[in-house]
Chain A
Amino acid sequence: MLDVISRPWPWYVAGPLIGLFVPTLLLLGNRQLGISSNLRHLCAAIAPKDVAFFRYDWRRAGLWNLAFLVGICLGGLLAVRFLGTPEVAISAETRAALARIGIHDFSGLAPGEIFSWSSLGTLRGLASIVGGGLLVGFGTAYAGGCTSGHAISGLAALEKASLLAVIGFFAGGLLCTFLILPLLS
């Protein structure tokens, strides 16, 4: 039993579990699954200044979601500490393709060549970590949602706006994968 849990979970276990969060949150308190709203709540809590977008009662609107976010951190910690060390079994083609752009460390959840504190001093590290973060923050705020808000709960609610956003996610992701990542290598 523990062995089954400690191995990586297949998509047909993880996907339906993630899907169940949407109705569960609705039944608990009429809440919509969406993590990126927390970035807005945190900005509203830390530095609203006189920006209209951040002038609202973040406690009332976002306390539940911030609690959910703290939970995510806790879950990440628990998963790695007690449920087995991750070693990601990506396809051989992906390994080969990544090797061609200078990635050879496949040991953790992210390649050590890019995702370490020391690599923040390199162009590739800075662009991937901080640049990636900036675009995620700006893009999700502009689009009003991220993978959870648009791709999962939005598409499940049959929203055309979410479909357009998800098409954008993929357009941007493909552009980055095939044009930007090779330039950074």
Chain B
Amino acid sequence: MTPDKLAPEDAETAASPRDVSPFWYLLLGTLFGVVLVKSEAVSWFRIQEMFRFQGFHMYGIIFSAIAVAAPLIWILRRSSMKTLTREPIDVPPKELGWGYRYAIGGTLFGVGWALGGACPGPMFALASAGQSVYVAAILGALAGTWLYGYLRPRLPHY
């Protein structure tokens, strides 16, 4: 794929013309942060327990989240329901191709997830939940994302 061609994730950067106030997203994000911390999904210990297959907790969270979201997405995709601001709802499919980027990028992320015990959301929740050293992890993540953007034209995206 040439770098100037739209990548699958760029679909989401094409914003809806009308949207509700950012306040609602702030409120939802707050709830999300509370759930992440109260479920201990932000804990390095829980991530270790998961990768060592020694507890069901994290698997339970991920599987039940998918089990709740999947049928609702299925219905929303097939219905003619509109958003609150009367925009159409569409979930654009992700372009698979040969899948190199998902396999390679996913594996690199997995190594980072097990090292730091936090994916992007939890990093931010942790940094404000008394684990201030995760600010350094966030700076690392920003540097990593920037590096990807810089190297992108030279990386395989099949």
Contact call A177/B52, Cβ cutoff below 8 A: yes
| Pair B115/A73 contact, Cβ less than 8 Å | no
- Chain A residue nearest in CB terms to B84: A28
**Structural contact, B120 and A172, CB atoms closer than 8 A:** no
Q: A130 contacts B136, CB within 8 Å?
A: yes
A144–B115 CB distance below 8 A: no
List of B residues within 8 angstroms of A158 by Cβ? 70
Contact partner of A132 (CB less than 8 A), chosen from B40, B63, B116, is B116
Contact: B56 with A11, CB < 8 Å? Answer: yes
Whether the Cβ atoms of A156 and B112 lie closer than 8 Å is no
Q: Is the CB of A176 within 8 A of B83?
A: no
Per-position 1/0 for A172-183, Cβ under 8 A of B: 111111001100
- Segment 101-127 of A: residues with Cβ below 8 Å from B: 106, 108-111, 114-117, 119-120, 127
Q: Chain A's nearest CB lies how many Å from the CB of B47?
A: 8
Q: Mark A154-178, 1 if CB is under 8 A from B, else 0.
A: 1111111110111111111111110
Give the distance in Å from the alpha carbon of A145 to the alpha carbon of B110 in the complex. 12
Q: Which residues of A contact B85 (CB under 8 A)?
A: 29
Question: B80 interface residue, CB < 8 Å from A?
Answer: no
Contact yes or no, A26 B76, CB < 8 A: yes
Q: Is the CB of B20 within 8 A of A29?
A: yes
CB<8 Å pairs between A and B, sample of 13: A11-B59, A14-B39, A30-B16, A32-B12, A39-B145, A52-B149, A75-B33, A76-B36, A90-B45, A91-B54, A109-B37, A142-B109, A172-B114
